[in-house]
Amino acid sequence: AQSVSQHNHHVILSEAASLELGCNYSYGGTVNLFWYVQYPGQHLQLLLKYFSGDPLVKGIKGFEAEFIKSKFSFNLRKPSVQWSDTAEYFCAVNAQGQGGKLIFGQGTELSVKP
Amino acid sequence: EPEVTQTPSHQVTQMGQEVILRCVPISNHLYFYWYRQILGQKVEFLVSFYNNEISEKSEIFDDQFSVERPDGSNFTLKIRSTKLEDSAMYFCASSYDRTNTEAFFGQGTRLTVV
């Protein structure tokens, strides 16, 4: 069965600090990978996605993620966070060829102090 | 920008009552999903729906749950006899395709069973 693990439950950073949120998945086949963000009171929004090709993907708002197949990882990074990045971040996996079902990690709450 | 809308945003119901959660997916999307998130836990897949039938469902989606697309625009989740443990945030999502594409999420309905 597929599973997704996010390493950090709650991360607190000061503005301008660098961010890295860990995500590991467990699945033997080919996967699509996603990071979603949920700002307070809002819906889940896609930050970025990886289907194939360049393992370093760039998303909205300066976020990027790197797919490392050998480590089953898809870590999210941002060089310099802003107060407006305060939100919950979800890593998700979709097994290719097995429908559109997403398997989510447990989420990481990011708090950025101004 | 097209979006998935869910109503109501918050529903309080008595244990044993039936509830219907409503969703209006993006108009040209073909695949529809329900997910739920119990407070403090992961976002969990419930069911996917395509071509007027369930294409996949999780173990959570037992006989108490049903989905319907009654009029070509709404997509509903019915819980026949609610239990306390059904209290959660329920997210609807839709996608144009089921592979290599983004799922768009609604803002969620918070269901509280008392």
Chain A residue with minimal CA distance to B95?
A100
Residue A76 has a pLDDT of 98
Chain A residues close to B43, C-beta within 8 Å: 44, 90, 92, 102, 104, 107
What are the beta bridge partners of residue A41?
Answer: none
How far is C-alpha B101 from the chain's CA centre? 19
Note whether B41 contacts A: Cβ–Cβ < 8 A: yes
Mean pLDDT of chain A: 93
pLDDT, one tens digit per residue, over A42-62 is 888 999 999 999 999 999 999
From B12-21, B66-75, B79-88, the region with the lowest mean pLDDT = B66-75
Confidence bin at A67 (pLDDT 50/70/90): very high
Question: Domains in chain B, please, with CATH?
Answer: 5-113 (2.60.40.10)
Confidence bin at B100 (pLDDT 50/70/90): low
From A1-15, A66-80, B29-43, B89-103, the region with the lowest mean pLDDT = B89-103
Can you tell me the distance from the alpha carbon of B94 to that of B11, in angstroms, rounded to the nearest whole number?
A: 22
Question: Domains in chain A, please, with CATH?
Answer: 3-113 (2.60.40.10)
Task: Provide the 10 A C-beta neighbour count for residue B53.
Answer: 8
Chain B residues close to A45, C-beta within 8 Å: 105
Test B42 with A49 for CB contact under 8 angstroms: no
Test B99 with A46 for CB contact under 8 angstroms: no
Per-position b or e across A16-26, b if 16+ CB within 10 A of its CB: eeebebebbbe
